[in-house]
Structure 1
Amino acid sequence: MSRVLIIESSARQQDSVSRQLTQQFISQWRAAHPADQITVRDLAVKQVPHLDIDLLGGWMKPAGQRSPVEQAALDRSNELTDELVAADVVVLAAPMYNFAIPSTLKSWFDHVLRAGVTFKYGDTGPQGLLTGKRAYVLTARGGIYAGSPSDHQEPYLRQVLGFVGIHDVTFIHAEGLNMGGDFSEKGLNQAVAKLAQVA
């Protein structure tokens, strides 16, 4: 049995293409792997706060010196990190907002990229500690950006996932969704077709 962790980050609940792709992924995965455990964390429903002084205090202070607020921030980070560490497969549903990822997803990364837990520094530099996992990134984009200098999503996500040791990453882009005409239909159909091959 594998554990699958799905991170939803679209601000929209209705008419969200990234959520549509997520639902297709879940349906296909359950059909192919009925014994697997799937956990969905929706960052729009239960937002993760931005990195702040309380979380830094929770990470850096000894237990006896933490304030209740710092301890609560640490507990939240531990919960998110434990989910990621336990997962065999990670799915990030990431619409493109202003050429990048939603700030909610960035906040999630800020909670789980933790020295000594998901990565460490050695003599040759940083080393990811979450090796052996697979990741799928489902994006929804109003324009067409893949492979262009305006695509700040894919390079960033490859870097941060690789930083913690996750190098087996598959991107599925639904592009041209706001361009009208045949672009939006073609972009969605291509994403759906690629997603059908995943499970």
Structure 2
Amino acid sequence: MNILHIDSAITGEASVSRKLTADIVAKLTAANPDATVTYRDLNQGVPAIDTDWFKAVRLAPTDPTPEQQKLIEISDAYLAEVQAADVLVIGMPIYNFTLTAQLKNWLDQIARAGKSFRYTEAGPEGLLKGKRAIIAYSAAGTPMGSEMDHASDYIRFMLGFLGITDVDFVAADRLAMDREAGLARAQDALEKLAA
């Protein structure tokens, strides 16, 4: 089993989502001792896609400039990690009712026509099939699945668009209202999670 462990919280050691992803990975590796883990901390910076990225990555020039080649290599590296993974463990703290900018940038980097999805006569088809994703959702005041939550449906949709339809959530939400109850809900979900 190849596990891709992704964190995106800006709060360092105080992060609930980082603790949850670590606990999820620990559960997976305990059940699968031969598993390999690739770690990516998106808080270290994920370039946003822009016009330069579009010209380099999307238009794929036959003779890219050194600057374009660097943009291509960065995007290819993110995508290769996902392609090699059997399980993605993604930390998704909620800031201002949605996922972090870093996590959105990462999704934009890996959503690449012809590589992670393709267009067919029947519509788009995800090319990253056969993978599982476990999302560690943490929020101070945004209940998962509520009208205020603009993250969980989005990430489920985006992963599904890329072909990853086996998606589970471990949620520690409403932490500002009742931290202990929120953490208890997450622990319960973690214990029920198949490893």
TM range (shorter): over 0.9
Identity of aligned residues (%): 39
Structure 1 residue 196: deviation in Å?
Answer: 2.2
Pairing 1:108–2:103 present: no
Residue by residue, what CA displacement relative to the aligned partner does 1:98-141 show, whole Å, maximum 9, x if unpaired? 00000000000111000000000000110001111111000111
Q: How far apart are the structure 2 equivalents of 1:146 and 1:137?
A: 12
The 2-side partners of 1:85 and 1:196 are apart by 27
Q: Which runs of 4+ in 1 moved over 4 A?
A: none
* Corresponding residue for residue 51 of structure 2: 53
Instruction: Show the counterpart of 2:128.
Output: 130
Task: Give yes or no for contact 2:4–2:37 (8 Å, CA) kept in 1.
Answer: yes
Matched residue, 1:63: 62
- CA–CA separation in structure 2 for the residues paired with 1:111 and 1:146: 25
Aligned residues: 193
- Residue 172 of structure 2 is matched in structure 1 by 174
Alpha-carbon deviations, 1:40-89, whole Å to 9, x = none? 100113x111111221111213231x221111000000000000011110
* TM-score for the superposition, normalised by structure 1: 0.93
TM-score by length of 2: 0.95
Shift of 1:170: 0.4
1:193 alignment partner, one of 185, 188, 194: 188
CA distance in 2, matches of 1:26, 1:168: 17
**Structure 2, gaps ≥5 residues long:** none
Q: CA deviation at 1:146?
A: 2.2
**Residues 1:5 and 2:4 aligned together:** yes
Amino acid at match of 1:194: A
Separation in structure 1 between the aligned mates of residue 157 and residue 4 of structure 2, nearest angstrom: 19
